[in-house]
Amino acid sequence: MIDSLTEIANRRRYDVAPEDEWRRCGRNGSPLSLIVVDVDHFLACNDHLGHAEGDVVWRRVADTLQQTGGRPGDLVARYGGEEFVMFLPEIDTVAGEPLAQEARPGVEAQQIRHPASPVPAWVSISLGGKTVIPGDATAGPEFFRGADTALYIAKATGRNKLAWR
């Protein structure tokens, strides 16, 4: 349930988390937010600096996200490929957007060099978020798809941004 490289939750842990929180938030009428995070131009970084430096990037981004979404009940996980997720029970859009905005400059402030980036000279992240108030339905792929679609909007409009749906 823990990603061996980043030492945060892994995809398997994320896959089991939403259902319980979905039901709990649904019972309470509480919001639930999901943020999908992508390391901008990571493949170019990894190709240019090598896999060892790429692993350092993963760990430092994971640490920043973990510090940002660090309340009990929050789940920050390595989703796979170049993506992380932040699963935030009882966080609405009003609280979720600033939290996501905090993560973005947190990564940028570390100034992890990324000489192959066409944007800044250091590693940056793009984020997509979605908030729902769960109903009777089970947590389905459409919740993730909404946040993922927002991520692709952030990437398509220049990267190093947040988009929320």
Q: How far is CA 61 from CA 10, 29, 31, 136, in A?
A: 14, 32, 26, 35
Residue 90 is among the residues annotated as catalytic for this protein = no
Q: What DSSP state is assigned to residue 137? A: S
Signed CA dihedral, 95, 153, 110, 77: sign only: positive
Quote the tokens at residue 157: 């409009």
Choosing from 7, 19, 21, 82, the catalytic residue is: 82
Q: How far is CA 87 from CA 9, 17, 107, in A?
A: 11, 8, 18
Contacts of residue 85, defined as CB under 8 A and 6 or more positions apart, other chains included, come to 14, 34, 35, 36, 37, 75, 76, 77, 79, 147
Quote the tokens at residue 27: 């019972």
Q: What DSSP state is assigned to residue 17? A: H
Q: Which of 85, 87, 161, 97 is nearest to 124 (CA)?
A: 161
Residues belonging to the active site: 82
